[in-house]
Structure 1
Amino acid sequence: MFSQKLLIRLKNAFNVTVLTGAGISADSGIPTFRGPDGLWKDQEVEKLATLEALENEPEVFWEFYNWRRQLLKDIKPNFAHFSLVDIENYFEDFTLITQNVDNLHAIAGNKNLVELHGNITRNRCTSCDHIVPMEQMAEQAIPYCDKCGAIMKPDVVLFGEPLNPKLLRQAQTASAECEVFFSIGTSSVVEPAASLPYIAKANGAYIVEINPESTPLTENADEVINIPAAKALTALVLILDRIR
């Protein structure tokens, strides 16, 4: 499954970076909101998950996000998430960058985690940036900030919003400094995350893509593993246990 070249790299590696996308949470039962899953009550998710929708239709916007949160309440991390916790422990310097907002990497136990697109379990004020964790949220159909009174949004990057520059810098630095870079379960089309493996490659890293489907990254990766993340990562943990 894994090449000898990769195993030698991993045996000697000090710094490893991993990028994950929606595919890693597929085995947990989370819809990707792509293709047939791209509708909610016959509305396009890409039009619902915007600041314009929050401003013009706050009731519909928050009904959608409260539904997503309710959906996540019974969702648990899968073998892929837990395998990445084990993998983190094998390396001195390990960074996990995720495009997912589902909080599953944090629940599983990863420590050095960059949530590039935010985390749906928090609210953020649209005016003063005050953050409220889900367990502290009042029961409101439309939440307002208890500091300044402005409307709040989930602490996620909505369509058309820029990424948090601090988190983006962390992700870019981790990509530039790693020796091995894994791209796992991501479509490799959403920027700026899609550029991270190329930053790693330009700085000499060995690029590994784990994805059952081909992506724009596939032909540029040093190694491609065309199987689901959970199967690949559980196998990788067993190998690391032997070589590290």
Structure 2
Amino acid sequence: MTSHSPHLVVFTGAGISAESGIQTFRASDGLWADHAIEDVATPQAWRRDPERVLRFYDERRTQVRRARPNAAHQALASLEKQGFRVSVVTQNIDDLHERAGSRDVLHLHGEILKARSSVDERMRYPLPRGGIKLGDICDKGSQLRPDVVWFGEPVPRYVEACEIVEQADLLLVVGTSLAVMPAAALLERAPLDAEVILVDPAAERLAPPGVARLPQPAGRGVTELVRHWSREGRLWLPETLLGA
């Protein structure tokens, strides 16, 4: 397929990573059940108790390193290997899409396996092992912090994400409650003639009007769609599987 092939844009949320064992934030047994947002995930928390914030994200980092890509991550990467044009926009801060083999991945909320400067968000440093400690500094002499977007901070790559979604011929939304703004508003940026599919166990309840619904876990639903597209050699809306 050429660069003029139909463009599949995939927008993923915590549900796709949950199947790899990464604890979500908003579930009843999620991270916020044990940690108050204002204590670990805001600029104010960072100023008040940076050591606590660093410890929280070190624990998350360990969890991500132990996790492995699941069937949904692998299915999306396999489409790209077959020559389909696939772009991934993710709310997730893990690297499971990349480890599965996806090459065009935009992280809206940052990457937990990177550190960044506290004074210059453009200065990022990979964390192949270990974590961040007080006293670890950037090249400008400022304390390193997790490369994640905290509550109350702007989403620096949102405009770029909008531009990608605006190019979609088909928008596949996987494992997101569509509750986190501004990310949830990305669906409104899809072209009027683009099909939109939501894969989520709660899809019947979550899907906005006009969005096709596949109420299945990510691993099952995405794999099923990819199998159809691979067999046909094209992107299409399998109406026998979906309700709108």
Task: Name the TM-score, length of structure 2 as normaliser.
Answer: 0.85
- The number of residues matched between the two structures is 228
Q: Is the 8 A contact 1:14 1:91 kept in 2?
A: no
2:8 is equivalent to residue 19 of structure 1 = no
2:88 corresponds to which of 93, 96, 100: 96
The residue aligned with 2:125 is: 132
Alignment of 1:1-244 (within 5 A): 14-34=6-26, 35-39=28-32, 42-90=34-82, 92-129=84-121, 130-135=123-128, 141-164=133-156, 167-200=157-190, 202-214=191-203, 217-244=206-233
Q: CA deviation digits over 1:67-115, x for unaligned, max 9?
A: 1112222111111111110123455532110000011111111111111
- Give the superposition deviation at 1:136: 7.1
Q: Secondary structure at the match of 2:113?
A: strand
Cα 1:58–1:219 change in 2 (3 A) is closer
Q: Is the 8 A contact 2:171 2:197 kept in 1?
A: yes
Q: Is the 8 A contact 1:15 1:91 kept in 2?
A: no
Q: Is the 8 A contact 1:20 1:185 kept in 2?
A: yes
Distance 2:219 2:64 in 1: 19
Q: Secondary structure at the match of 1:43?
A: coil
**2:119 maps to amino acid:** S
Distance 2:132 2:147 in 1: 16
- Give the superposition deviation at 1:241: 2.2
Percent identical among aligned pairs is: 32
- Greater mean deviation of Cα atoms: 81-90 or 58-67: 81-90
The residue aligned with 2:241 is: none
Distance 1:39 1:224 in 2: 28
Distance 1:140 1:175 in 2: 34
- Greater mean deviation of Cα atoms: 214-223 or 153-162: 214-223
Q: Secondary structure at the match of 1:159?
A: coil
Structure 2: give runs of 5+ residues left out of the alignment. 234-244
Cα 1:143–1:69 change in 2 (3 A) is farther
Distance 1:107 1:195 in 2: 27
Q: Is the 8 A contact 1:38 1:45 kept in 2?
A: no
**1:148 maps to amino acid:** K
**2:10 maps to amino acid:** V
Structure 1: give runs of 5+ residues left out of the alignment. 1-11
Task: Name the TM-score, length of structure 1 as normaliser.
Answer: 0.85
Distance 1:169 1:39 in 2: 28
Q: Is the 8 A contact 2:5 2:85 kept in 1?
A: no
- Greater mean deviation of Cα atoms: 184-193 or 207-216: 207-216
Distance 1:146 1:176 in 2: 35
